[in-house]
């Protein structure tokens, strides 16, 4: 009779701004994470934003270093991917990069921020035929982190968010939730 001993997967609870060890694969149980690197001047370049059900690793990136940073309180579990999991991750990484790149190529700062909010709403919010509902608080996306994601300054993001709310482009549903009506999005932003 043979006995098999299976090591229990490492499970961590981390706080916002904590960094996960990059030499392991992590399945996100709760919370939000971003993967990032830096340019020569030390400016952060976001490579992806990940949420519950996704898994992250630095193992399949050509860029070095890649930091896996918690945006919120996060619960992750060490994960041993199968080949199909790796293929799905690589496809999602490509999709994330392309979408973030597309947002960052929008020349108009107004449209760039709106495109970023729509992307976050599609990816992590509630989608309806009327638009996207998202909670920046749930994802711990401050004005500074939004600015980092789309290459603007924090002051510019704050001014534009206030203006969007005043013009009805963004609707404040509750203290923490925003709604972006589909009619507010021009075709080049979607």
Tell me, what's the pLDDT at 184? 64
Residue 74: strand, helix, or coil: strand
Q: Which of 10, 56, 4 is nearest to 32 (CA)?
A: 56
Q: Which residues contact 138 (CB under 8 A, 6 or more apart)?
A: 72, 176
DSSP state of 41: T
**Structure-token pair, residue 117:** 């909010």
User: Do the beta carbons of residue 120 and residue 170 sit within 8 Å?
Assistant: no
How many residues would you count in the chain?
190
Tell me, what's the pLDDT at 13? 96
Residues of the chain with CATH 2.60.120.10: 11-101
Which CATH class name applies to 11-101? mainly beta
Residues of the chain with CATH 1.10.10.10: 107-184
The pLDDT averaged over each successive group of 10 residues in the chain (190 residues) is 60 95 92 92 88 92 90 95 92 91 92 93 90 91 90 94 91 88 59
Q: Which fold has domain 107-184?
A: Arc Repressor Mutant, subunit A (1.10.10)
Place of tokens 């993967």: 35
Distances (CA, A) of 172 to 124, 134, 183: 17, 10, 16
Tell me, what's the pLDDT at 7? 66
């Amino acid at each position: 009779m043979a006995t098999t001993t299976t090591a229990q997967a490492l499970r961590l609870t981390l706080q916002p701004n904590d960094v996960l060890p990059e030499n392991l694969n992590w399945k996100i149980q709760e919370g939000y994470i971003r993967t990032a690197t830096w340019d020569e001047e030390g400016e952060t370049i976001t490579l992806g934003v990940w949420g519950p059900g996704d898994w992250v690793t630095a193992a399949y990136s050509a860029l070095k270093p890649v930091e896996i940073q918690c945006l919120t309180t996060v619960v992750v579990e060490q994960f041993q991917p199968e080949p199909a999991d790796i293929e799905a991750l690589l496809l999602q990484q490509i999709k994330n990069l392309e979408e973030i790149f597309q947002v960052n190529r929008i020349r108009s700062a107004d449209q760039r921020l709106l495109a970023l909010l729509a992307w976050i709403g599609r990816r992590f919010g509630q989608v309806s035929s009327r638009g996207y509902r998202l909670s920046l608080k749930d994802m711990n996306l401050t004005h500074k982190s939004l600015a980092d994601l789309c290459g603007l300054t924090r002051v510019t993001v704050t001014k534009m968010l206030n203006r969007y709310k005043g013009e009805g482009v963004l609707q404040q549903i509750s203290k923490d939730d925003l709604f972006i009506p589909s009619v507010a999005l021009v075709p080049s932003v979607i």
